[in-house]
Amino acid sequence: MLVVGLGNPGKEYANSRHNAGYIVLEQIAFYNNLSFSKSTKYKSDIAKILLLGQKIIFIKPLTYMNLSGTAVCLIKDFYKLQNYDIIVIHDDIDLPLGIVKLKVGGGSGGHNGLKSISSAIGDSYLRIKIGIGRPISEHLSVASYVLSDFLVEELTVLYSIARKIAENVELAVQKQFSEFMFKIKN
């Protein structure tokens, strides 16, 4: 099983809205006492755990968002994974801040990380969408908005959701999606 958190590497992006996937993955690692190590082979920060007898690989691609598919494809091919073995956690501007939705397959919704992954492996993988909301100002482009930092109060909401996902990630890995979503929402 592969769990991918989308984001951009580098301190300048650490708290950006586009890094919601990274932030959630870091909380999963913290909750499970994991640490990431850099893998040049996989172009990712990578952590592994044995969970309920199943090897789970967590990655934060270091390729920048628009080339995330490269890193995902490298790991998918090496471990001979199928798309149904892949979960991608990513930001979604079409969902209000803190709302989480699951979706299998479909389009990218304009998300360049998803476009890259779908181009590399197809689109039939599970997505955990993390709502970041839309820009309030009509003068702020979507690109500028997703690359801007979360406000402190927004980070509080995101970390609360990230903690719930971290506490229940084993349900998603076991494909118990209804129970996973119930735990996230309550």
Catalytic residues: 18
CA atoms of 9 and 55, how far apart (whole Å): 25
Structure tokens of 142?
Answer: 């979507």
66 is in an annotated binding site: yes
42 is in an annotated binding site: no
Asked if residue 4 lies in contact with residue 86, where contact means CB atoms within 8 angstroms, the answer is yes
13 is in an annotated binding site: yes
112 is in an annotated binding site: yes
Asked if residue 122 lies in contact with residue 106, where contact means CB atoms within 8 angstroms, the answer is no
Structure tokens of 29?
Answer: 């690692």
Binding residues: 13, 64, 66, 112
Annotated binding site for tRNA: 13, 64, 66, 112
